[in-house]
């Protein structure tokens, strides 16, 4: 699943439209704690025979026959589930999951064929664990085949998970209803009674009853359609392969589709609402290309006859990898050639590549339990980079991938972070696993391992892993064991990395001698939270290295964590990467000759940051000022990031970090410019919430002067590569929002023409964001944009308008926008988290966003779910730029009052830590920034 805000086009830039905040939710009522020492009471007051949140392991599902009949008028559905099971020990209680299903009848069939006997089962329900127990008259016999048949009914869910209602409006204004599913992680139980844990894999035969005017699709192709009554058709789908319940999917709609075949004969189709099917071609071509790439890369054929991609009008996550029927937000799949932005093209390609990677990582081989979710998500996130860099080289995905590592480090530096693999049990904890650590950090440490082993050795390790565990479940260590013996021994392959360490110069001899213990090495990255800070001191030819746990915050206790860090470095004398494996707290390497500068973490392939002691930073700042292109754009971005991370822990003065950014006057590449903005913009956002107007104004002026040459060079067109276009879009937006007059005047002219043409004038896509943001500053412009929003069929245009509306300085309009998007009539509720966060970043709107979160907390949890990324996104988005003690106390007071309905959430701990850090940072650095700005630094520009 693509979850969490995917921060494109730009990382954490606070003023930005993030065209796609990609979030996941799945639901449950409030949960009781699992208590192993008490006997729970079923809803009828009798003792429930099981007291754990995890199901017992002695009943094994083998196959499900599922019949679902939905009524899209009454918004209800009924179903019959027949589950073939076996018992590994005698038991008379069959415990499985069910949530909000009204069960009318349950029977047990014993044996197979004509000799089957049938008996009624007593049904007990235990809602706190979303479990039911089916009680038989006598214990099940070990090894015999049994079938449990359950009849039930339910309402279509009003949330974004389970079997839920979605709607869309046609061009003519008619509202149409469809029903779709989102089961990951724990919502299959809202659609049918099942063993809803990833390790209980089984096959599924699905039948859907529908009206003739509708179309049903599911994981497998349609086998036949039978008329069961007048106006009622039953579609029979082929039997699935063995898979987990969270991957089951079915949709009843009036979608249209377009299709193509892959070289190996897999039928790929894109489904969308009729008015938008003309936007499906880009995703269809990308899906065919990517599916062919993965079949080749993994050396394992895609096992199903078809792969459908469906754009769902209401969808909280970005996308979901249901086997054979992947589902998406419309903005994650549909590309309007006239209006979609460059970042939209990149985002759609990455999202499709992510979900198709899951068909192997996640679907074919599945984590045993949610504690190892990163085996699914970290891999799919990493494979976006591997696949798209080959299939769509023009997108230059490598210029965007590494920013994700900085995003992950942002939360991983906090005490409230967690190891990549971490124990979870209750639903809120499971949902909290869908975060930057599972996705982004997971991807970044895999990239680091690939760089360490070599691309070929890494690939052979994961192919071995997939082949060995196909249709099974795995744990963390299974992956490392598959990686352990992958180096070729014949010495014929020309590779970079550990496996070819013999090719490296004497300075990397430490790497050669290291025994290849992938498991021990990677356990240091997956079983402990955080990441290392490497401090480098150069003494002549000797380079002294020290590692420690990088932690923000005052009074954080030293953890004593050590990592096996695959260091890489270049120097003023050698631009080919040298390698050194640091396994101890300190070590020394000897260079062949003395150097003017040394730069570690070549190309940002490592998940660590580096501090250069003595004059190390001065040397690198001098290098950037003189000839910044001597090192790669990724290396320049990582220096910017490291410098400001070091300011946070008092290792580097803020003045030195600001001095380093002055070189950006000459920068033209997207990665370092975006990273500079990611560091500098939050500084004035903190000032906005402290009412430090004078310095805030000076700082904003400094930022525009720093980038003025680059801003002035931007053409108001759609010319150039995807990266150049994304850079243009964000620079013009920044310039206009910061009221840089040449930008504002041009945008006003464009907006005037666009409005006079009633929105029918085609604007260059890359400048639309800036034009709309300027246009939204007048009441007439704002109202006109909202009118156009209602009729637009383009996801990009809707996102651009949405963002522009959120930049208004009119409190009344901002309050109305929050209320309307939560109501969900015109602006869909799926957009609400984005809107609340955008208004939470608005200097006028942030108190309104925080007030709404506090006053509507229970409704938000009901809609989006405790522990979900959507809730985390809103909590952080409304509070994590506060930087005063008064705000801190208000935030602490509110969340502690929630008790079990929110106070324990990780995002709450994260935001409190972040506010405390903001306060410390501002107290320590504000006066220094004020003096630095005054101290003739502007003359350098």
Task: Work out the pLDDT band at 496, boundaries 50, 70, 90.
Answer: low
Task: Work out the pLDDT band at 293, boundaries 50, 70, 90.
Answer: very high
Q: Is the pLDDT of residue 584 over 90?
A: yes
Residues 6 or more apart whose CB falls under 8 angstroms from that of 28 comprise 99, 130, 186, 427, 865
Give the pLDDT confidence of 165-185 residue by residue, as tens digits. Answer: 999 999 999 999 999 999 999
Q: Is the pLDDT of residue 244 over 80?
A: yes
Q: Could you list the active site residues?
A: 355
Average pLDDT of span 305-326: 97
Q: What is the reported pLDDT for 497? A: 60
Q: What is the reported pLDDT for 491? A: 42
Quote the Cα angle for 691-693-694, to 5°: 145
Q: How far is CA 870 from the centre of its chain?
A: 11
Q: What is the reported pLDDT for 9? A: 31
Task: Work out the pLDDT band at 115, boundaries 50, 70, 90.
Answer: confident
Q: What is the reported pLDDT for 724? A: 96
Average pLDDT of span 873-879: 96
Average pLDDT over the chain reads: 91
Average pLDDT of span 501-516: 44
- CA torsion, points 237, 328, 400, 601, in degrees to nearest 10? -60
Q: Reading across the β-sheet that carries 215-218, which strands appear in turn?
A: 162-169, 175-182, 250-253, 215-218
Task: Work out the pLDDT band at 553, boundaries 50, 70, 90.
Answer: confident
Give the pLDDT confidence of 648-706 residue by residue, as tens digits. Answer: 999 999 999 999 999 999 999 999 999 999 999 999 999 988 878 899 999 999 999 99
d(CA 446, CA 402): 12
Q: What is the reported pLDDT for 911? A: 96
Task: Work out the pLDDT band at 809, boundaries 50, 70, 90.
Answer: very high
Give the pLDDT confidence of 395-451 residue by residue, as tens digits. Answer: 999 988 999 999 999 999 999 999 999 999 999 999 999 999 999 999 999 999 999
Give the pLDDT confidence of 56-65 residue by residue, as tens digits. Answer: 999 999 999 9
d(CA 552, CA 650): 10
Q: What is the reported pLDDT for 807? A: 97
Q: Is the pLDDT of residue 16 over 80?
A: no
pLDDT over 70, % of the chain: 92
Task: Work out the pLDDT band at 495, boundaries 50, 70, 90.
Answer: very low
Q: What is the reported pLDDT for 26? A: 29
Give the pLDDT confidence of 833-860 residue by residue, as tens digits. Answer: 999 999 999 999 999 999 999 999 999 9
Q: Which two tokens stand for residue 500?
A: 């070819």
Q: What is the reported pLDDT for 122? A: 97
Q: How far is CA 280 from CA 258, 332, 556, 924, in A?
A: 7, 11, 51, 52
Q: What is the reported pLDDT for 395? A: 95
Q: Which two tokens stand for residue 40?
A: 């729970």
Give the pLDDT confidence of 354-382 residue by residue, as tens digits. Answer: 999 999 999 999 999 999 999 999 999 99
Q: What is the reported pLDDT for 312? A: 98
Q: Which two tokens stand for residue 23?
A: 């979030």
* Model confidence, pTM: 0.94
Q: How far is CA 269 from CA 69, 151, 306, in A?
A: 24, 33, 8
Residues 6 or more apart whose CB falls under 8 angstroms from that of 489 comprise none
Average pLDDT of span 226-233: 97
Q: Is the pLDDT of residue 6 over 50?
A: no
């Amino acid at each position: 699943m693509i979850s969490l805000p995917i921060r494109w086009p730009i990382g954490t830039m606070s003023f930005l439209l993030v065209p796609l905040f990609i979030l996941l939710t799945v639901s449950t009522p409030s949960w009781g704690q699992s208590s192993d020492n008490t006997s729970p009471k079923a809803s009828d007051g009798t003792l429930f025979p099981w007291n754990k949140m995890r199901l017992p392991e002695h009943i094994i599902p083998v196959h499900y026959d599922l019949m679902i009949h939905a009524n899209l008028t009454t918004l209800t559905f009924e179903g019959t589930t027949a589950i073939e099971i076996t018992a590994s020990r005698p038991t008379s209680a069959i415990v499985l999951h069910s949530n909000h299903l009204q069960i009318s009848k349950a029977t047990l069939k014993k044996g197979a064929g004509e000799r089957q006997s049938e008996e009624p089962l007593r049904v007990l329900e235990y809602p706190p664990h979303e479990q039911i127990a089916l009680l038989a008259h006598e214990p099940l016999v070990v090894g015999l085949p049994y079938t449990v048949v359950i009849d039930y009914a339910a309402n279509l869910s009003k949330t974004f998970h389970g079997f839920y209602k979605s709607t869309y409006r046609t061009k003519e204004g008619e509202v149409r209803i469809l029903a779709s599913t989102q089961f990951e992680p724990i919502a299959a139980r809202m659609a049918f009674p099942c063993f809803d844990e990833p390790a209980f894999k089984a096959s599924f035969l699905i039948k859907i009853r529908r009206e003739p005017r509708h179309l049903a699709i599911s994981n497998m192709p349609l086998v036949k359609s039978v008329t069961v009554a007048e106006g009622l058709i039953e579609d029979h789908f082929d039997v699935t392969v063995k898979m987990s319940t969270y991957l089951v999917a079915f949709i009843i709609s009036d979608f249209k589709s377009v299709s193509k075949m892959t070289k190996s004969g897999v039928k790929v189709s894109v489904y969308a609402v009729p008015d938008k099917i003309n936007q499906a071609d880009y995703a269809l071509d990308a899906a065919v290309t990517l599916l062919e790439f993965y079949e080749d890369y993994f050396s394992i054929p895609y096992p199903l006859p078809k792969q459908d991609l469906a754009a769902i009008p209401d969808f909280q996550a970005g996308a979901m990898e249901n086997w054979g029927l992947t589902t998406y937000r419309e903005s994650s799949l549909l590309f309007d050639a006239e209006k979609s932005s460059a970042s939209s093209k990149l985002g759609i390609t990455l999202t499709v590549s992510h979900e198709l990677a899951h068909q192997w990582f996640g679907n074919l081989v599945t984590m045993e339990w949610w504690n190892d979710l990163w085996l699914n998500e970290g891999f799919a996130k990493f494979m976006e980079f591997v696949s798209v860099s080959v299939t769509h080289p023009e997108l230059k995905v490598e210029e965007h991938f590494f920013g994700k590592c900085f995003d992950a480090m942002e939360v991983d530096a906090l005490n409230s972070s967690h190891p990549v693999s971490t124990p979870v049990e209750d639903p809120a904890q499971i949902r909290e696993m869908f975060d930057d650590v599972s996705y982004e950090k997971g991807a970044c440490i895999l990239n680091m391992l690939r760089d360490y082993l070599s691309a070929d050795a890494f690939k052979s390790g994961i192919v071995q892993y997939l082949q060995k565990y196909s249709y099974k479940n795995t744990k963390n260590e299974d992956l490392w064991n598959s990686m352990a013996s992958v180096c070729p021994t014949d010495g014929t392959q020309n590779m970079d990395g550990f496996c070819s360490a013999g090719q490296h110069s004497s300075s990397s001899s430490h790497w050669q001698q290291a025994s290849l213990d992938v498991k021990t090495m990677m356990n240091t990255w997956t079983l402990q939270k955080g990441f290392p800070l490497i401090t480098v001191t150069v003494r002549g030819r000797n380079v002294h290295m020290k590692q420690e746990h990088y932690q923000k915050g005052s009074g954080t206790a030293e953890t004593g964590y050590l990592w096996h860090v695959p260091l890489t470095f270049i120097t003023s004398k050698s631009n080919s990467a040298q390698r050194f494996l640091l396994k101890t707290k300190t070590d020394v390497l000897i260079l062949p000759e003395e150097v003017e500068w040394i730069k570690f973490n070549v190309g940002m392939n490592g998940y660590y940051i580096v501090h250069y002691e003595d004059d190390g930073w001065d040397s690198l700042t001098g290098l950037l000022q003189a000839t910044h292109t001597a090192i790669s754009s990724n290396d320049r971005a990582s220096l910017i990031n490291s410098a400001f991370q070091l300011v946070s822990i008092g290792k580097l003065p803020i003045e030195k970090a600001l001095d380093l950014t002055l070189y950006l006057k000459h920068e033209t590449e997207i990665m370092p410019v975006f990273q500079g903005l990611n560091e500098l913009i939050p500084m004035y956002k903190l000032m906005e919430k402290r009412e430090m107007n004078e310095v805030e104004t000076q700082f904003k002026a400094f930022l525009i002067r720093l980038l003025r040459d680059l801003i002035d060079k931007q053409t108001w067109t759609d010319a150039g590569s995807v990266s150049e276009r994304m850079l243009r879009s964000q620079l013009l937006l920044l310039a206009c929002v910061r009221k840089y007059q040449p930008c504002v005047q041009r945008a006003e002219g464009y907006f005037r023409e666009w409005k006079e043409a009633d929105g029918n004038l085609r604007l260059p896509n890359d400048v639309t964001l800036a034009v709309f943001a300027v246009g939204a500053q007048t009441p007439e412009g704002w109202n006109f944009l909202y009118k156009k929003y209602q009729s637009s069929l383009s996801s990009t245009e809707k996102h651009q308008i949405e963002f522009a509306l959120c930049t208004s300085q009119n409190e009344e309009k901002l309050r109305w926008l929050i209320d309307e998007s939560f109501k969900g009539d015109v602006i869909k509720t799926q957009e609400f988290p984005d809107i609340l966060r955008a208004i939470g970043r608005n200097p006028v709107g942030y108190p309104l966003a925080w007030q709404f979160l506090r006053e509507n907390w229970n409704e938000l949890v009901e809609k989006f779910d405790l522990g979900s990324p959507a809730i985390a996104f809103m909590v952080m988005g409304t509070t994590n730029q506060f930087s005063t003690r008064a705000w801190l106390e208000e935030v602490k007071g509110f969340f502690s009052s929630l008790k079990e309905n929110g106070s324990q959430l990780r995002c709450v701990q994260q935001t409190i830590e972040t506010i405390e850090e903001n306060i410390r940072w501002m107290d320590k650095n504000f006066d220094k920034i004020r003096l630095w700005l005054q101290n003739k630094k502007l003359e350098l520009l």
